[in-house]
Each structure stands twice: as structure tokens, then as C-alpha cells.
Chains A and B, each alone.
Chain A
Amino acid sequence: MSWNSAAEFFAMGGYAFYVWGSYAVAAVCIAGEVWWLVHRVRTLQARPGLNAQQSVRQP
């Protein structure tokens, strides 16, 4: 462990804005893409065709 306290960890030796700015934007981007994918899957599942297909499995 390279930190003595939580405050020291969040301060990042004075680089908090740059370090957390990078991690935050990356997290938001990934979360946004996952949300968008899930949203599209939900939209597709709302169509009548797909539900019918899901109940009938391929052999």
C-alpha cells in the first residue's frame, strides 16, 4: 500500500484533477456505452418478434 491516509489518496500528490479527471471520464464513457447497449437490447426485446424467438430455442 503506497498511501498513509484516504485524504492523501484522493489528493494524488496535488494531481487530483488530472488523475481523477482521467479516471472519471473513462468510467463515464464505459458506463455510457454499456447503458446504451442495454438500452438497445431492451428496445429490441420490446418488439413482439424477439420474445417469440426466445421462447422457441433452436435444436
Chain B
Amino acid sequence: MAINIWKYSSPQTFYPLAGKLAPWFLGLAGVLALVGLYIGLLLAPSDFQQGNAYRIIFIHVPAAWMSMFVYLVMAFWCAVGFAMNTRVSFMMALALAPTGALFTFIALWTGSLWGKPTWGTWWVWDARLTSELILLFLYIGFMALHAAIEDVRRADRGAALLALVGAINVPIIYFSVQWWNTLHQGASVSMTRSASMASIMLIGMLVMSLSAWMYAIGASLLRVRILIAEREQAPDGLAAGAPS
């Protein structure tokens, strides 16, 4: 049975779908967060080098991953919006931005709180940290630009262009630890510690990441619903099949 994906590219059909899916994703995020916190805070042993300071990893790494991933998804929807001229795509991008900015802020904040006990400094202007800070400014710039342009369609396109150009920053963040000398450690997933310890820590981190993933999907679906309703002013216009 073929599913007509184009059906969901119009606000009228996407609106009820987003409403149905969002609570499931948010609920799943909550359950996964509880499991992840149980593993990360209670089951996982303390690190032989960092003691218990390493437990910040269960917030920091999922938030940092999501900060980059949400941006890529946002840029993807902007590209789709340009190519297909679908309004929901631009709304999806706009719906993702605050959640992405939130994860970026959490990654920066927890990184700072982790840096102080391990590196001895709250902040350092090195490649990883600076490019992540630029990511936060890109999110804020995207939202501010969209809010500054009065005509919604022009705002969609202007902000989308900024998001697409800014996407170059994401690989820079990701590979910054390889390309430049930085205080920041390399990729976390390939960490080589004594097997039994690493696995429970890794499982905790992955469960927390999955939770962050579900949260980002749920929150942005809820927000895209709000955006659709706000834009169409009277949502019964949506049900009646307003031109898209």
C-alpha cells in the first residue's frame, strides 16, 4: 500500500497528524529520560579519571549531538521549502529552531560546568567551543531574521537562506576536534575504556540521546501545529480547505 506523502505537505492534513503524534513522542522522551537518568546517575560507576564530574556527559553529549542534528534537519526543511515551495517545510524549519537553540545552550552551559573541574576554565576560545557558540548565534539569527521581516513568505525565504548558508558550520563543529588543536576531547562514541565500564556509560548516554531525539521531534511537532494555527488565523479555515 502506497502512502501519499504529498498529502502531508499541506498544512490542513499535517495539522491533525502533528497533533496526534506529538504527545507520543513527548511521552516516549519522558520515559527514556527516566531510564537514561537511572542508568547514568544510579547504575553507572564513577570514572577512574574524572570521578563523578563525568556524569555531565549524560546531558552534554546528547544536547550537543541534537544541537547539530536539529540544525541539519532545519536546513534540510529550508532546502525542501525552496525546492518544492511547500509552506509546511518552512514552518517545520521555524518550529525546529527554538528547540535546536535550547539544546545548543544546554550543550554550552553543561560544557562550561564540565570544563571548570576538568580543564580548570569555564570557557576557552578554541575551535569546538567557538563554533558551537556560532551555532547558537545562527539559531538566534535565524529566529530574529524571521521575526524582523513582516511578510511571512519573505521571512520564510530570507531566514531559510541564512539557515542554509549557516549549515557549513555544522561539519566545522563536528570535525573541529580533528582539524585543530583543542582542549575538547575527541568523539565520545569511540571512547576506549575498560569494557564493562564503558558499556553501561555508553548505554546511558545513548538512551539519553534517544530521549533528546524524541523530545526534539515532539516539541517541534507541537510547535509546527501552533505555527500553522497562528498563521491561518482562524483554524476553521484550515478544516474547510484554505488554498495552500
Q: Residues on A close to B: CB < 8 A?
A: 1-3, 9, 12-15, 17-19, 21-23, 25-26, 29-30, 33-34, 37, 40-41, 44, 47, 49-50, 52-53, 56, 58
A30 to B32, CA, bound (A): 14
Interface of B, secondary structure class, is: helix
Quick check: B230 and A3 within 8 Å, CB to CB? no
Interface set, chain B 48-107, CB cutoff 8 A to A: 51-53, 55-56, 59-60, 63, 98-99, 102, 105-106
Q: How far is the CB of B242 from chain A (nearest CB, A)?
A: 12
Bound form: Cα–Cα A56–B234 in Å: 14
Q: By the criterion CB–CB under 8 Å, are A23 and B223 in contact?
A: no
Q: Which of B16, B43, B63 contacts A58 (CB 8 A)?
A: B16
B130: interface (CB < 8 Å): no
Note all chain B residues with C-beta closer than 8 A to A18: 53, 56, 113-114, 116-117
Contact (Cβ within 8 A) A37 B223? yes
Query: Does B238 sit at the interface, judged by CB under 8 A?
Result: yes
> Nearest residue in B to A2 (C-beta to C-beta)?
B45
Would you mind naming 26 contact pairs between A and B with Cβ atoms under 8 Å apart? A1-B43, A2-B42, A13-B52, A14-B52, A18-B114, A18-B116, A19-B52, A19-B55, A19-B56, A25-B109, A30-B102, A33-B99, A33-B102, A33-B219, A34-B26, A34-B219, A37-B226, A40-B230, A41-B226, A44-B226, A44-B230, A44-B235, A49-B233, A49-B234, A49-B237, A56-B239
B110 at the interface (CB under 8 A from A): yes
| Given A9-B41, A40-B226, A50-B236, 16 new contacts (CB under 8 A) | A3-B42, A15-B55, A18-B116, A19-B52, A19-B55, A19-B113, A21-B113, A26-B63, A29-B102, A29-B106, A30-B215, A44-B230, A49-B234, A50-B229, A52-B236, A53-B236
Residues of the B chain whose Cβ atoms lie less than 8 Å from the Cβ of A21: 113
By beta carbon, the residue of chain A nearest B226 is A40
> Which size class do B's interface residues fall under?
35 or more
Question: Is A58 a contact of B52 with CB atoms below 8 Å?
Answer: no
Across-interface contacts of B51 in A (CB, < 8 A): 13-15
